[in-house]
């Protein structure tokens, strides 16, 4: 981990250290070794120090780290503050001489305004040293030190859910307790879950108005940034200890830095989220419809059937989150020569997490895929493979939440059946039908067919940008092409005889525009 910054060993003269070395060291120290984690229960700033993230002393002079730790503390020493020191899980222990220098470097202000120092999972060495220093040098300071054995115990003193706890600390904590318990949490549901095992509609809202679940957004963003070329992504299993700690951190509401866990943990977390849903993406009630997909003669017929017969059975929130994840799978499949994950492989790995009817054999049959035979397979497996291979036409008309929020906030004016353009993962326009999102939540949304969406694909915006209609498009029996803007009502719209000349004429020929 530390080698990636390529620091000069401290045996080299200071003059040989570059500004890039110093900046990289500062970035590492301020993000991994010492950082603020909000405020404590008494609204005092809470500073976290992680001994487990101290680098090998052979790679960097610890005095350089000490100077940056003190610079960070300088921000807080003028008023009361709290420090949480995670001592457990450390690979490297500073020497006695360095610890003495560090202790002596703390001026009166550091010690005076420090109200509490929580040392979590202290090693015998650290405890003996600090006790000696406190008794010999500053008995008054010793009263501020509190030794804490477990993270559950720490949660009684500080808001644990605000702290980005390193994986090494979680792993070390397993020596003392199997599960972290928070006192009187107001955010938990009755089962103690914040994220996993909660219905999608409860997390996102029926129409998706609450946004994507945090774990889904975090995992997709991280994999898109760091894991597109990772071999076996979504197929390989990570450390079960790391996976468990990351999952429980999300359930408690802790901040989670997935860079500390890796791509495979993020990929499996994403699958676990869907697998833990109390109501799966495709409930058993949809199986009879899904089984009919295989009987359609070609991929266009199958996509049309999914859009017209399967998607209306799902809530808008489910369709949105499914689209969001499938967009990631599309990007991963583009790197199949490196990561070895083809659309078939991705569908095989992901589909089983979208069903659980209570009948394992039935669920397996619904997810089956034959790599060489497109005439056989289960409905869910076929659907997922089609969603990856033909993402644009499968999800044409379904917007991203960011665009949806712009619509709701009024930055884009709407009518109940207006169409809008967004950028798909392929960076090509797709059409959005806002009636999907403003329909009565108690009734299944109506989705435009592929055929209709293709006929409307010429229209891209309804803001001050021009309408763009391609040549040869026929709408309501009238051929239209050309460009017109809302603020130029007299702009000629087409040179084709009989086609609309103004926006008002265009609206009359296209009543769905309102």
Whether the per-residue pLDDT at 443 is higher than 70: the answer is no
Q: What is the pLDDT of residue 103?
A: 75
- Asked whether the predicted pLDDT for residue 186 surpasses 80, the reply is no
Domain positions in the chain are: 20-174, 200-409
- pLDDT exceeds cutoff 60 at 400: no
Reported confidence tier of residue 145, pLDDT bands at 50, 70, 90:
confident
The order of strands in the sheet holding 114-120 is 34-39, 45-50, 81-86, 114-120, 145-148
Q: Is the pLDDT of residue 18 over 70?
A: no
432 in Cβ contact with 457 (< 8 Å): no
Q: Is the dihedral of CA 114, 116, 119, 120 positive or negative?
A: negative
Q: Which of 16-20, 49-53, 231-235, 288-292 has the lowest mean pLDDT?
A: 16-20
Q: Is the pLDDT of residue 414 over 70?
A: no
Question: Is the pLDDT reported for residue 132 higher than 70?
Answer: no
Q: DSSP states of 103-122 as a string?
A: HHH--HHHHHHEEEEEEES-
Span 437-466, average pLDDT: 37
Whether the per-residue pLDDT at 168 is higher than 60: the answer is yes
CB of 99 closer than 8 Å to CB of 62: no
- Does 69 score more than 50 pLDDT? yes
Q: What is the pLDDT of residue 353?
A: 92
Position 144 confidence tier, pLDDT thresholds 50, 70, 90:
confident
pLDDT recorded at residue 81: 87
CATH architecture of 200-409: Orthogonal Bundle (1.10)
Q: What are 222-243's pLDDT values in tens digits? A: 999 999 999 999 988 888 889 9
Query: Residue 491 — very low, low, confident or very high, per pLDDT cuts 50/70/90?
Result: very low
Report the CATH fold assignment for 20-174.
Phosphatidylinositol Transfer Protein Sec14p (3.40.525)
pLDDT at position 126 = 67
Lowest average pLDDT, out of 107-111, 156-160, 461-465, 496-500, goes to 461-465
Mean pLDDT, rounded, of the chain: 75
Mean pLDDT of 259-276: 94
Higher-confidence residue of 44 and 511: namely 44
Single out the residue of 195, 263, 187 nearest to residue 230, CA to CA: 263
Q: What percent of the chain has pLDDT over 90?
A: 39
Same fold, 20-174 and 200-409: no
| Residue 464 and residue 485 in contact, taking contact as beta carbons nearer than 8 Å | yes
């Amino acid at each position: 981990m530390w080698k990636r910054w390529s620091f000069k060993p401290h045996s080299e003269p200071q003059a040989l250290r570059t500004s890039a070395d110093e900046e990289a060291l500062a970035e590492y120290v301020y993000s991994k070794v010492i950082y603020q984690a909000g405020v404590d229960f008494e609204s005092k700033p809470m500073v976290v120090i992680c001994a487990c993230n101290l680098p090998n002393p052979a790679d960097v002079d610890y005095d350089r780290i000490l100077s940056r730790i003190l610079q960070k503390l300088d921000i807080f020493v003028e008023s009361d503050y709290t420090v949480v020191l995670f001592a457990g899980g450390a690979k490297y222990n500073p020497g006695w001489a360095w610890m003495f220098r560090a202790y002596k470097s703390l001026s009166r202000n550091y010690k005076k305004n420090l109200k509490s120092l929580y040392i979590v999972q202290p090693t015998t060495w650290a405890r003996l040293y600090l006790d000696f220093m406190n008794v010999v040098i500053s008995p008054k300071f010793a009263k501020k030190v509190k030794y804490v054995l477990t993270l559950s115990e720490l949660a009684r003193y500080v808001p644990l859910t605000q702290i980005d706890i390193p994986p090494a600390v979680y792993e070390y904590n397993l020596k003392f307790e199997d599960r972290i318990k928070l006192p009187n949490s107001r955010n938990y549901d009755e089962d103690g879950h914040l994220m996993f095992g909660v219905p999608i509609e409860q997390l996102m809202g029926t129409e998706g108005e609450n946004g994507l679940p945090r774990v889904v957004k975090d995992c997709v963003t991280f994999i898109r940034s760091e894991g597109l070329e990772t071999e076996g992504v979504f197929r390989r299993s990570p450390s079960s200890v790391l996976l468990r700690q990351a999952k429980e951190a999300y359930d408690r509401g802790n901040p989670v830095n997935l860079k500390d866990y890796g791509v495979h943990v993020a990929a499996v977390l994403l699958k676990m989220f869907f697998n833990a849903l109390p109501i799966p993406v495709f409930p058993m009630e949809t199986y009879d419809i899904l089984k009919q997909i295989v009987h359609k003669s070609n991929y266009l017929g199958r996509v049309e059937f999914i859009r017209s017969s399967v998607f209306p059975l799902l809530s808008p929130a489910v369709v949105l989150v499914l689209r969001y994840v499938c967009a990631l799978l599309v990007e991963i499949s583009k790197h199949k020569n490196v990561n070895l994950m083809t659309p078939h492989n991705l569908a095989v790995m992901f589909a089983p997490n979208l069903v659980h009817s209570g009948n394992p054999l039935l669920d397996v049959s619904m997810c089956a895929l034959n790599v060489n035979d497109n005439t056989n397979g289960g409905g869910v497996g076929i659907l997922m493979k089609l969603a990856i291979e033909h993402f644009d036409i499968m999800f044409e008309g379904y917007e991203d939440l960011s665009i949806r929020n712009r619509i709701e906030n009024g930055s884009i004016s709407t009518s109940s059946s207006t169409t809008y353009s967004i950028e798909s993962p392929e960076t090509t326009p797709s059409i959005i039908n806002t009636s999907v999102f403003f329909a009565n939540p108690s009734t299944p949304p109506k989705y435009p067919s592929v055929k209709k969406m293709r006929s409307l694909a010429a229209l891209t915006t309804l803001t001050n940008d021009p309408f763009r209609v391609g040549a040869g498009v026929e709408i309501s029996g009238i051929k239209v092409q050309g460009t017109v803007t809302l603020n130029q009502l007299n702009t000629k719209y087409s040179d084709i005889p009989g086609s609309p000349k103004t926006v008002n004429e265009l609206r009359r020929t296209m009543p769905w525009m309102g």
